[in-house]
């Protein structure tokens, strides 16, 4: 049983009706009857239910104004990626193999730096793994601030469980070290195997985290008090949204201080008297409510049968007829016995039975939709399942009647 889209509000309060589409699947233009899969049907129903809730919220105008801090950020307040290369020790025979040359070379260089000279060709250990360490340096982080890091194996180690990361510097895009990390790794999983080759694994044991294992050693200085202007950057560029943000900022500051430069940035001139009150001004602006504008878009996921429609999706008047073709193939085995006292053999002969049933598709007219609710109501007039709606929406877009961008993921 698959749900279909309907125009909210409905009796059940979720904006959906339930219809029984049987237990069939479409392949190459035909439908083969399959055994009823309750789990698969529930999964499809839940995915479509999520779509229905979202579209119902859009139709009722729940998606309204949002805070400026959720759609934009002040330039210079973004996080910065950090990366480093290090060694994990203390593994219980699950480290890199001997043929992982860079792990052996790194270990030999590390021992050489602490006064222990060894020949890399003679180093054979299984308790060490080479890893890449990544982290994000938050804005306004000060020296001594603790940050979380992620550790990922770059060799052929089986697991990082129980390992300890040795001191590793983390560098930014400019090549300078901004943090240092060291500590035990938490993988949240495990991997075990036997000599016969059988194994069991939970989660992903070659990737782990060190909560608060990184320490900031160098700050990224941002002196807003020395600036005469600052830029606001939208997370999703849009000319209309940028214009709304500029108008809202001017209303809050009671003057013409903000100007939209392009679809992604708004230049803000610091008003007089706010030179030493920048935090106060930023707090007022980031809590300002703005209603962002979005393009009309329909997202289709053919793998799961999920359809998501934006608030501004419109359909021009169009006539649609949709039918279905059901093909049922059944196989029976018959036993053929030879005549008495003959030299024949008993054989099994297959018997195939093919039944074809074509559903009737009436021509339905979908009127032009003014709201997302009217669009959904018009599509439901066809009585199609979400799987069928994917083909219908593609055909409506090809006919030029769908006034929205159609994106298939």
148-182 pLDDT, tens per residue?
999 999 988 888 988 999 999 999 999 999 999 99
CA distances from 333 to 3, 282, 339, 355 (A): 38, 78, 19, 18
Number of domains in the chain: 3
Q: Rg for the chain (alpha carbons), in Å?
A: 32
Residue 125 is predicted with a pLDDT of 85
Shared-domain flag, residues 198 and 103: yes
What residues contact 228, with CB distance under 8 A and at least 6 apart? 269, 270
In this prediction, the residues of the chain whose per-residue pLDDT falls under 70 are: 1-64, 189-203, 322-331, 352, 354-372, 382-384
Tokens linked to 247 = 């108008």
Residue 277 is predicted with a pLDDT of 82
Q: Phi-psi category of 75—alpha, beta or left, where left has phi over 0 and alpha has psi -120 to 50?
A: beta
Among 230, 259, 290, give the residue marking a domain's end: 290
Shared-domain flag, residues 315 and 400: yes
Shared-domain flag, residues 88 and 187: yes
Q: Considering only CA atoms, which of 63, 65, 71 is closest in space to residue 286?
A: 71
Shared-domain flag, residues 187 and 250: no
Instruction: Give CA–CA dist 217/144, Å, rounded.
Output: 6
CB distance 232 to 247 below 8 Å: no
CA distances from 380 to 17, 55, 375 (A): 10, 14, 9
Shared-domain flag, residues 371 and 246: no
Q: Is the pTM of this model over 0.75?
A: no
Instruction: Give CA–CA dist 147/181, Å, rounded.
Output: 9
Looking only at the bridges linking them, the beta strands covering 402-403 and 30-33 are unpaired
Instruction: Give CA–CA dist 309/299, Å, rounded.
Output: 6
Shared-domain flag, residues 309 and 403: yes
Strand order across the 306-309 sheet: 306-309, 297-301, 405-408
Domain assignment of residue 278, given as a range: 66-75+222-290
CB distance 247 to 270 below 8 Å: no
CATH number for the domain harbouring residue 234: 3.90.1150
Shared-domain flag, residues 273 and 338: no
Among 173, 189, 216, give the residue marking a domain's end: 216
Shared-domain flag, residues 212 and 182: yes
Shared-domain flag, residues 308 and 321: yes
Q: Per DSSP, what are the bridge partners of residue 177?
A: 171
Residue 359 is predicted with a pLDDT of 60
Residue 11 is predicted with a pLDDT of 34
Shared-domain flag, residues 108 and 10: no
Among 189, 216, 243, give the residue marking a domain's end: 216
Residue 193 is predicted with a pLDDT of 59
What residues contact 313, with CB distance under 8 A and at least 6 apart? 296, 297, 298, 369, 372, 375, 402, 403, 404
Shared-domain flag, residues 342 and 362: yes
Shared-domain flag, residues 118 and 134: yes
What residues contact 94, with CB distance under 8 A and at least 6 apart? 126, 129, 157, 158, 159, 160, 161, 191, 205
Instruction: Give CA–CA dist 271/277, Å, rounded.
Output: 10
Instruction: Give CA–CA dist 322/317, Å, rounded.
Output: 16
For residue 51, which phi and psi values (nearest 5 degrees)? -65, -40
């Amino acid at each position: 049983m698959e749900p279909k889209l309907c125009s909210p509000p409905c009796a059940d309060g979720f904006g959906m009706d339930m219809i029984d589409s049987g237990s069939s699947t479409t392949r190459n233009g035909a439908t083969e009857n399959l055994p009823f899969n309750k789990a698969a049907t529930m999964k499809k129903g839940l995915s479509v239910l999520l779509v229905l809730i979202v579209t119902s919220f859009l139709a009722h105008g729940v998606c309204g104004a949002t805070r400026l801090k959720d759609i934009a950020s002040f330039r210079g307040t973004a996080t910065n990626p950090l990366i480093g290369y290090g060694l994990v020790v203390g593994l219980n025979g699950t480290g890199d193999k001997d043929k992982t040359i860079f792990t052996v070379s790194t270990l030999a260089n590390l021992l050489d730096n602490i006064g222990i000279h060894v020949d890399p060709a003679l180093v054979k250990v299984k308790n060490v793994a080479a890893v890449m360490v990544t982290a994000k340096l938050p804005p306004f982080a000060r020296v001594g601030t603790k940050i979380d890091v992620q550790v990922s194996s770059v060799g052929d180690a089986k697991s990082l469980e129980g390992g300890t990361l040795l001191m590793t510097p983390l560098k930014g895009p400019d090549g300078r070290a901004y943090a240092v990390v060291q500590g035990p790794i938490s993988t949240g999983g495990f991997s075990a195997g036997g000599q016969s080759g059988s194994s069991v694994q939970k989660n992903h044991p070659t990737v782990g985290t060190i909560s608060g294992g990184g320490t900031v050693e160098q700050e990224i200085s941002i002196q807003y008090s020395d600036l005469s202007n600052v830029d606001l950057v939208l997370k999703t560029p849009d000319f209309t949204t940028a214009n709304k943000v500029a108008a809202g900022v001017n209303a809050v500051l009671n003057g013409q201080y903000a100007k939209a430069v392009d679809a992604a940035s708004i230049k803000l001139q610091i008003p007089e008297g706010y030179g030493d009150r920048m935090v106060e001004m930023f707090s007022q602006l980031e809590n300002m409510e703005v209603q962002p504008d979005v393009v009309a878009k329909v997202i289709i996921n053919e793998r799961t049968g999920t359809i998501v429609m934006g608030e501004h999706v419109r359909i021009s008047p169009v006539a649609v007829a949709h039918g279905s073709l059901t093909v049922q193939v059944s196989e029976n085995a018959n036993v053929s016995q030879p005549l008495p006292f003959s030299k024949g053999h008993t054989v099994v002969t297959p018997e195939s039975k093919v039944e074809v049933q074509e559903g009737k598709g009436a021509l339905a007219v979908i009127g032009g939709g003014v709201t997302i609710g009217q669009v959904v109501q018009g599509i439901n007039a066809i009585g199609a399942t979400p799987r069928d709606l994917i083909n219908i929406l593609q055909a409506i877009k090809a006919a030029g009647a769908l006034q929205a961008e159609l994106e298939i993921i």
